[in-house]
Structures are given as structure tokens and as C-alpha cells.
Chain A
């Protein structure tokens, strides 16, 4: 019986039913176990899985006027997507391919990671929707133990114009002592209201080093309800950067769990928003084990009537020892009507902490800095561009690969301007 007809689900704005999910899988000729995983996800799509709006992280992002378009996409491949691996990586057994392809070719690797569905509970419905109906752009990356992938893996995910939802999964598994950089550049065309749920899971094995860069440049009309989960084993290093450019609205949940001793997590974010964009990020960083570190740095440049909301929680588990964490959120308001709401929360459940703190600011550009720059011959716009470029530089500098840097700068340039071809003289 289709779930859509049950009275409970008619109270939530999106409808999924068994038939849709089954047909979606059958049409794509998926193996039985994969279909079962989609149906299991459907089972998690319950009214209780929806945010009530009373959760602290959902209070500032009303879920109304959800895009009316179809939630199941008939698009199986994104035209521009390529899974480029260099010869060394291929020889070392690195897997970088579409999730459906990987499920057929490497089921033993994909299966353990396809079913769990856990994470921040107020995002459960959206994870479930993505896991039930993921489609074009879904990707699987597996880096075997000890393998260092030298070239960044780059995914250009550009959805053509349509009103269909853009549901996708990205699963990255970096085994013990491996290293990899994954860049996802998400964009869409057209003006139609449509939903996007990019669901990203990153497993950082013991001693592994992972950089995940997610760039969003959605078209206007897109409502992005993405979710990201990072799990870090002992002595691993995870760095991630989310870039919110483009013109869509985003409500993204990020969860990072440190599950072993000596792991390092650094979560970075850049928001370059304008018009009446609303970029709402809620993060949950948990620290366990001995001497682990988890830091977050989000920088926003907000133009016109844009609003950035950041609700971030750090939880230091009672079983942890000597961990360090810092959460920092800075917002530059470039118009009187732009706004920011940074809300940091620390939950420290042990006395055995080396450092744990937060800093949050929101303010206009300094008149003195503007005057100084203008006195050097920059007009007001150019002076502002220069100061915003400088502001973002703290995060941009973290990117060591020049192509990745340029890709990030390209994404934010339409909003922050192109005065400074940074990097040329350094």
C-alpha cells in the first residue's frame, strides 16, 4: 500500500511511496540488495523523521513552500560529469565512479556503506528521501589502504534545467593511511523551484588524510536540504570546505564524529550570498578519544537581503581525554538589509579538556579600512571587493592545490567581484 495514502504522512510536505521507489530502482536495473536499501530508507521516511520546527537548528529555517516538482528524477546521468583518475590511482585500485556502477562492480565495498542512514535526527527525513531516490550525480569513491591519490578527484555536477528534485549520494571511503582530495562542484540551470538533497558520507580511516570540498552554485529557485556526515578514525586528518555561492537557498546539516584517538577535523565554510538568499548551516561536532581536535571556521560575506544562519554545536564526550576544539563564525554584512545569526553551543561533558571555545561576530565593513583602501585609489566597490577577498583569504589559503583554489574563487567571484587576482604574486 502506498505510504502516501496514510493520514500521518499527508501532514508532511513531501510524499514518497513504495511504488515510486520500487519503480525508480527497477527502471535503473539495480540489484535486489540495492533496491532493498532504498526501501529501507523509505521506511525511515516517517512523519517523526521530519523536523518539527521546534528543534533549535530548524527554528530559523521555515520549511514551507516546498518545490512542487517531482521528487523522483528520471535523469540518470549528468551530462558534464566525469570520473577522471590518473593511471597511478587506477593501478593502485582506487575506485571513483557513479554509485550505481559501483554497486554493480564492487558490491562488497558499497553495501556496508549504503544502509545505515544515521546522523542528526532532525535531518533524518531528508537523508531518507535522498537514500530512497538518489539518482544522477551519485558517486562512490574508495581509496585502498596506504594509497595516496595525488590529483584531486573533481566532480562537476551540473543539473540541466528541470523541476525534478536533485537527490544524490556521495560516499567516500578512505581506508587506513590513504590520502585523497575530493571536490564536488554542484550547480543547476533553469529558474524552476526544485529541491536538492546532496547526501555526503565520508569515512576517514585510521591515519588517513581526506580533503572534501563541496561547492554549491545553485540556480535561483533551488531549495537545498543537504546533509554531510564525516566519521574520523584514530590519527586521521579530515579537512572539509563548503562553499555557498550561486543563488539558491540552503539548509545544510553537517555532522562530524571523531571516533578514535589523535584525530584532527577542520571544517571550513565560505558563504557568498546576496539577493534574498538564506544560507542556514547547522553543524554538530563530537569529540571522543584521546588528544583529538575538531575546529570549525565559517566566513560569510552577505550582500543585499541575504541572511546567514549558523547553529553549531561541539560536544566533548565524557569518555574523551585532552581534546581541543574551537568554533569560529565571522559574518561581514555588506548591506543594511543583510543579516547573520551565528549561534555557537558548547557541550563539554568532561573536565579533561585542553581547549574548547568559540567566537562569533557579525558586522559591517570597517569605515577606517574602507577609507584607507579608498585613499589608495580604489573606488568604494573596489575597496569593498578587496576587503572581502582578504577576509575570505584565511580559508582560501587552506587549499594547497592551485586548481582547487581557483575553482573556489571562480565560484565566489560573481558575488564578491574579481578585483584581486590573488595568488599571482605570492
Chain B
């Protein structure tokens, strides 16, 4: 059993404090949905966990099985098992999806200590094994064959980009996956495929943090917990029914309840 603990996380972007103390524990095998209105800090949370240089952590900890992630560079966080499906994935012109996936898998398999001589040691995935894994995953996610020879996200439609994020998530087999508004900008068919891709990752060894603005995706991905993020704080936590309530009443309802409670 693996555990990702976020403790009192305070994050600012360009001098403006966005997260005001987030506490959240995600255990492997569970799916947590974080919902919140625009500007509530959803993307900030995901990018701060991954280590985007623009997001400055003022206070708090993100601990994965006892390791303080915030002390690690971005790539080491990825190798420790954290995967972020981006809301706005970058294009890498000239690098094919297949080559990107293979070199990334191999980069993740390098053991940093090697044989104890301090030199990193390569342990590349054999190409036939890679091909087999890729064929399996593209089939599962209904990804077209031509997709993998195109450049990463270069000229991709919104839906294609999200599919590629999900394909990467499956290829890298992370311990914890954070999905940042993976549902945004998708038509209903793409949404279903992407949601099925997320559900297919669900296993006792994987924890999922699903960040979304809309309840829509939760019709296909069934979270164990729903958290509501408002103004950089988690203000409510509940089960799936909380998502339905939000959909019905809107975020203002939570916000009003919150500020009434304060006054």
C-alpha cells in the first residue's frame, strides 16, 4: 500500500498566493476527485505537486511513502511514481510519440545509483517488449496506429492531446496519477474513451487524483472521494453524491455556505 500525503500546502504563483493550506491523503487503490470553480487552485495543486518552476511552495509538504517530493527535481518526482496528465500538454515537434514513449520509459528505468559506483546504469526496455506493450495500450485506448508516428502533440486536436496523456499514463504505469481537467474540451465520445482509459488504470496499486470542473466525467469514472476546492482550500469532502449536489446547486452554493459559516 502506497500513500501520497499533502500537508498544509501553501503555493503562490508570481507572488500571488493561490493555495491556502491543502490537506489531502490519497492511498493507492482509491480514486479522489477534486472539484472546484475556475480559479480555485485546481491546476495549481497539480502543477505544484509535479514541480512546475513557476509555482512556489511557501509552506507544507507532499510526501510519497515517506519521501518529501518537494525536495526532488521534476524528473525524480516522475521516477518516484507520480504522473501528471496535463490540462495543456506541450508539443514536442520532431519527436514521434513512439520514440518519446520509448525514451521516456528508458529514462525512467535508469537506476540512478547504478552498481553503487555512483554512475547511472541503463536498463533499456527491449524493443520487442516495448512494441508489445504499446500495441496493447493503443488497442485498449482505441488509439489509431498513425498516431504513434506523429510528433508529440504537434498539430493534435484537443481530444488527441488528452488521449496521448492517457496513453502515456498507461505506458509509464505510475503509482499515482494526477489528471488535470483531462475532461475539458472533449466531445462526448472522446470523454467516454478517456474516462474508460482512466477506469482501466484503476488497480489496488494505483492512486488517482482526478481534477475536474464538471461532474460530467464522474458519470464514467467513479471516485471514492469527492473534495471541493474553493479559494485555495478544500472546503468539503464527501462521496460521489457530493458531485451530484454540486452539479445541481453550483459552486456558489458551497461558497455561500462557507462564507456564511465564517461570518
Q: Which residues of A line the B interface, CB within 8 A?
A: 366-369, 371-380, 382-383, 386-387, 389-394, 397, 419-420, 422, 424-426
- Which single member of B84, B96, B152 contacts A375 (CB below 8 Å)? B84
Decide: B94 and A373 in contact? CB cutoff 8 A. no
Q: List 13 A-B contacts (CB under 8 A).
A: A369-B90, A371-B51, A374-B73, A375-B51, A377-B108, A382-B75, A391-B94, A397-B94, A419-B103, A424-B99, A424-B102, A425-B98, A426-B99
**Max chain B C-beta neighbours (<10 A), residue from A386, A397, A419:** A386
Residues on B with beta carbons closer than 8 Å to the beta carbon of A391: 93-94
Decide: B104 and A377 in contact? CB cutoff 8 A. yes
**Max chain A C-beta neighbours (<10 A), residue from B51, B90, B127, B172:** B90
For residue B12, CB closer than 8 A to chain A, the reply is no
CA distance A383 to B149 in the complex (A): 19
CA distance A382 to B99 in the complex (A): 13
Decide: B52 and A371 in contact? CB cutoff 8 A. yes
Residues on B with beta carbons closer than 8 Å to the beta carbon of A425: 96, 98-99, 102, 127
CA distance A425 to B74 in the complex (A): 27
Given that A375-B78, A379-B75, A420-B95 are contacting pairs, would A426 and B149 also be in contact in the complex, using a CB cutoff of 8 Å?
A: yes
When A and B form their complex, what is the total count of cross-chain residue pairs whose Cβ atoms lie within 8 Å? 100
For residue B82, which residue of chain A has the nearest CB?
A375
> Per-position contact with A for B63-106: 1 when CB-CB < 8 Å, else 0?
00000000001110111000110100111111110111011100
CA distance A419 to B52 in the complex (A): 23
Decide: B90 and A426 in contact? CB cutoff 8 A. no
Decide: A380 and B73 in contact? CB cutoff 8 A. yes
CA distance A426 to B146 in the complex (A): 11
Within the complex, what minimum Cβ distance (angstroms) separates A161 from chain B? 32
Decide: A383 and B75 in contact? CB cutoff 8 A. yes
For residue B85, which residue of chain A has the nearest CB?
A375
Residues on A with beta carbons closer than 8 Å to the beta carbon of B90: 366, 368-369, 371-373
For residue B28, CB closer than 8 A to chain A, the reply is no
Apart from A371-B51, A373-B92, A425-B127: 5 A-B pairs, beta carbons within 8 A: A371-B74, A372-B90, A378-B104, A380-B75, A424-B99
CA distance A377 to B125 in the complex (A): 15
CA distance A368 to B51 in the complex (A): 12
CA distance A420 to B101 in the complex (A): 11
Given that A394-B94, A422-B99, A425-B98 are contacting pairs, would A376 and B168 also be in contact in the complex, using a CB cutoff of 8 Å?
A: yes
- Which single member of A366, A376, A397 contacts B107 (CB below 8 Å)? A376
For residue A371, which residue of chain B has the nearest CB?
B52
- Which single member of A377, A394, A422 contacts B75 (CB below 8 Å)? A377
CA distance A110 to B252 in the complex (A): 85
For residue A390, which residue of chain B has the nearest CB?
B94
Q: Which residues of B line the A interface, CB within 8 A?
A: 50-54, 73-75, 77-79, 83-84, 86, 89-96, 98-100, 102-104, 107-108, 127, 149, 151-152, 168, 172
Given that A419-B103, A422-B99 are contacting pairs, would A394 and B93 also be in contact in the complex, using a CB cutoff of 8 Å?
A: yes
CA distance A390 to B90 in the complex (A): 13
Q: Which 5 interchain pairs have the tightest Cβ spacing?
A: A393-B94, A390-B94, A372-B90, A390-B95, A374-B74
CA distance A377 to B110 in the complex (A): 10
For residue A422, which residue of chain B has the nearest CB?
B99
Decide: B127 and A424 in contact? CB cutoff 8 A. yes
For residue B152, which residue of chain A has the nearest CB?
A390
Decide: A372 and B99 in contact? CB cutoff 8 A. no
Decide: B94 and A376 in contact? CB cutoff 8 A. no
Within the complex, what minimum Cβ distance (angstroms) separates A397 from chain B? 8
Within the complex, what minimum Cβ distance (angstroms) separates A332 from chain B? 12
For residue B154, which residue of chain A has the nearest CB?
A390
For residue A368, which residue of chain B has the nearest CB?
B90
CA distance A375 to B152 in the complex (A): 14
For residue B90, which residue of chain A has the nearest CB?
A372
Residues on B with beta carbons closer than 8 Å to the beta carbon of A386: 92, 95, 100, 103
CA distance A424 to B103 in the complex (A): 11
CA distance A417 to B178 in the complex (A): 31
Within the complex, what minimum Cβ distance (angstroms) separates A421 from chain B? 8
Decide: A372 and B86 in contact? CB cutoff 8 A. yes
Decide: A367 and B99 in contact? CB cutoff 8 A. no
Decide: A389 and B108 in contact? CB cutoff 8 A. no
CA distance A397 to B154 in the complex (A): 16
Residues on B with beta carbons closer than 8 Å to the beta carbon of A375: 50-51, 74-75, 77-78, 83-84, 86
Given that A377-B104, A377-B172, A378-B104 are contacting pairs, would A369 and B78 also be in contact in the complex, using a CB cutoff of 8 Å?
A: no
Given that A377-B79, A379-B107 are contacting pairs, would A372 and B95 also be in contact in the complex, using a CB cutoff of 8 Å?
A: no
Within the complex, what minimum Cβ distance (angstroms) separates A399 from chain B? 14
CA distance A360 to B135 in the complex (A): 40
Within the complex, what minimum Cβ distance (angstroms) separates B108 from chain A? 4
Within the complex, what minimum Cβ distance (angstroms) separates B49 from chain A? 10
- Which single member of B83, B89, B102 contacts A372 (CB below 8 Å)? B89
**Max chain B C-beta neighbours (<10 A), residue from A378, A379, A392, A425:** A425
CA distance A373 to B104 in the complex (A): 8
Decide: A367 and B79 in contact? CB cutoff 8 A. no
For residue B92, which residue of chain A has the nearest CB?
A390
Residues on B with beta carbons closer than 8 Å to the beta carbon of A383: 75
CA distance A379 to B74 in the complex (A): 8
Decide: B94 and A392 in contact? CB cutoff 8 A. yes
CA distance A376 to B99 in the complex (A): 13
Given that A377-B75, A379-B75 are contacting pairs, would A369 and B103 also be in contact in the complex, using a CB cutoff of 8 Å?
A: no
For residue B171, which residue of chain A has the nearest CB?
A376
Within the complex, what minimum Cβ distance (angstroms) separates A75 from chain B? 40
Within the complex, what minimum Cβ distance (angstroms) separates A270 from chain B? 12
Residues on A with beta carbons closer than 8 Å to the beta carbon of B78: 374-377
Within the complex, what minimum Cβ distance (angstroms) separates A47 from chain B? 47
CA distance A392 to B90 in the complex (A): 18
CA distance A373 to B50 in the complex (A): 12
Within the complex, what minimum Cβ distance (angstroms) separates A381 from chain B? 10
Within the complex, what minimum Cβ distance (angstroms) separates A12 from chain B? 44
CA distance A386 to B168 in the complex (A): 17
Residues on A with beta carbons closer than 8 Å to the beta carbon of B84: 375
Given that A374-B74, A383-B75, A420-B99 are contacting pairs, would A390 and B104 also be in contact in the complex, using a CB cutoff of 8 Å?
A: no
**Max chain B C-beta neighbours (<10 A), residue from A368, A375, A387, A419:** A375
Residues on B with beta carbons closer than 8 Å to the beta carbon of A397: 94
Within the complex, what minimum Cβ distance (angstroms) separates A229 from chain B? 31
- Which single member of B96, B98, B104, B151 contacts A376 (CB below 8 Å)? B104
